[in-house]
Amino acid sequence: DGESNIFFEKDENLGEEEYIMKTENGKTYIKSASAAGQLYALQTLKQILFQNGFSLPDVEILDKPTHKIRGFMLDVGRYFYTVDEVKTFIRRMAMHKLNLFHFHLTEDQGWRIQIDKYPQLTEIGSVRHGTSLGKEVNDADYGGYYTKDEIREVVAYAKSLYIDTIPEIDLPGHTSALLASLPEMVCGDKKVEVKKTAGVFKDIICAGREKNYEIIFDILDEVCELFPYEYFHIGGDEAPKKQWKECPECQAKIKAEGLANEEELQGYFVNRISEYLRNKGKKVVSWNESLNGGNLNDEATIQFWLDGEKRYEKYPDLDIIVSDFFAYYMDYPYEMTPLKKTYCYDEKIAKKVIGVEAPVWTEYIPDFKRMTYLCFPRNIAVAQTGWCENKPSYEKFESDLCNLMGMFDTTDWAPKSDWNRNQLAQKIGTAKFFIDKLNKDFTKQLIGNMRDK
């Protein structure tokens, strides 16, 4: 019975998640400053036992993460995942010492969190009347949302595994579901529907209308109550400026605030929300587009996904979470993003990289099985980058991974033959993926966007 042979000691001199583990004559001594450090030590101990046929060699390990944030993002807007599925996901994250669950709760295709003051958000915004996402084309209503109790259940479950859950309320773009529910928030008087297709939509919250800030703050108040952590994600990605350009109220705001253009209006919008959340003890995280105006205050943490890396030289003091589209996006096929590419990506793109995070966007992932295939084992490559200052070679990582696979539930994992395909297979597989995504509705929308530019 191994358990009675494990001795824990608190050592305040160690870092928050750091641990020292020594095994000697079948006994294990673990020092850490926190319970999280204990959990990580135990995960490592399990691996050592597994690799050594359940006998315990004498070792001494000093281990700590490279990055404060090791995240995983799940988009439940495009497809809804049940509480049990979300919890399974979180449990798998914990095995790889990830510590942040980024819950992407709102999208053009669905609003997924109960807000008491605005019940329309779930009554109207959580349901789309039909789906036209790649090959998935039908007229059926599709919906779902989490009640506040369900959100609390997820947050508590993650906490029990030392994982912080942070919400994302995506603003000011990706808000069709919100605008369908609260039409008074849209620029002009356009009628907006919960979207059935994938893509980037022009519908956007009017940033000129003062009342809109009040509504946003009301929503944020309720969401903040459910998530007791430092960070709060407010989106900021893919917010086309066409409607702001045409809207008299937005233009009046630009003038009144002395802003140069619509990109600066987004900076202003994010700064106002940052300030509001700061007063509630929260730090804002935003996708990198919020930097475009050049007037963001330096309070926000920026999640980098698709951008020239040079931009970060201009903002040496911003904290950066790295989620590079070409390396860390789990929704793309292995042919486009082989495991080796994810593992070998150099995440140290700026002075203050505080985290790595693998997002999974679900436009083309209608079920948990497909998600598992895409995320495992690629997710583990990101976790390793977040945890290991001097990463071993890819070959060593792959062979360790293969040796440990028996420890994990690998049902629905990508088979090894898919991890790194040859160049021709990569090209064909990537092309096939994009061709499969196209359907009539999506193509129409793309062409419409190009015409309006």
Query: By CB under 5 A, is residue 208 in contact with Zn ion?
Result: yes
Contact string 240-279 vs ligand ACM (x = CB under 6 A):
----------------------------------------
Q: How far is the CB of 404 from ligand ACM (least distance, A)?
A: 31
301-320 positions binding ligand ACM, by CB under 6 A: 305
Does residue 237 interact with ligand ACM by CB under 6 A?
yes
Backbone angles phi, psi at 7, to 5 degrees: -120, 125
Rounded to an integer, what distance in angstroms lies between the CA atom of residue 195 and that of residue 197?
6
CB of 258 vs Zn ion, minimal distance in Å: 18
Q: Please give the C-alpha separations between residue 295 and each of 23, 224, 267, 299, in angstroms, as whole numbers.
A: 53, 26, 6, 12
Contact partner at residue 249 from Zn ion, ligand ACM, none, CB < 5 to 8 Å by partner kind: Zn ion
The CB-of-248 to Zn ion minimum distance in angstroms stands at 8
Query: Min. distance of Cβ 305 from ligand ACM in angstroms?
Result: 4
Nearer residue to ligand ACM within complex by CB, 269 or 287: 287
Per-residue binding string, Zn ion, 326-345, x by CB under 5 A, is --------------------
* 206 near Zn ion (CB under 5 A): yes
Q: Could you give the residue ranges of the DSSP H alpha helices within 13-147?
A: 35-51, 83-95, 120-123
Among 166, 250, 291, 322, binds Zn ion (CB under 5 A): 250
By CB under 5 A, tell whether 249 contacts Zn ion.
yes
Q: Crossing angle, helix 378-387 and helix 83-95, to 10 degrees?
A: 50
CA 73, 70, 331, 93 dihedral sign is negative
Give which of Zn ion, ligand ACM, none residue 287 binds (C-beta under 5 to 8 Å, depending on kind).
ligand ACM
- DSSP state letter for 291: G
Q: Are 174 and 238 spatial neighbours (Cβ–Cβ below 8 Å)?
A: yes
Closest separation in Å from C-beta 287 to ligand ACM = 5
Residue 23 and residue 56 in contact, taking contact as beta carbons nearer than 8 Å: yes
Cβ atoms within 10 Å of 345's Cβ, excluding its own = 18
d(CA 178, CA 120): 9
Of 85, 153, 222, 238, the residue at the interface with ligand ACM (CB under 6 A) is 238
Of the pair 259, 327, the CB lying nearest ligand ACM is at 327
- Could you give the 3-state DSSP secondary structure of residue 278? helix
| 110-111/106-107 β-pairing | antiparallel
Q: Which of 287, 312, 343, 364 binds ligand ACM (CB under 6 A)?
A: 287
Closest CB to ligand ACM among 19 and 103? 103
With 0-12 / 13-18 / 19 or more C-beta atoms within 10 angstroms meaning exposed / middle / buried, residue 148 is middle
Of Zn ion, ligand ACM, none, which one sits near residue 358, judging by CB under 5 to 8 A according to partner kind?
none
By CB under 6 A, how many residues form the interface with ligand ACM?
A: 4
CA distances from 314 to 18, 229, 437 (A): 32, 29, 36
Binding footprint of ligand ACM on the chain (CB under 6 A): 237-238, 287, 305
Binding footprint of Zn ion on the chain (CB under 5 A): 187, 206, 208, 247, 249-250
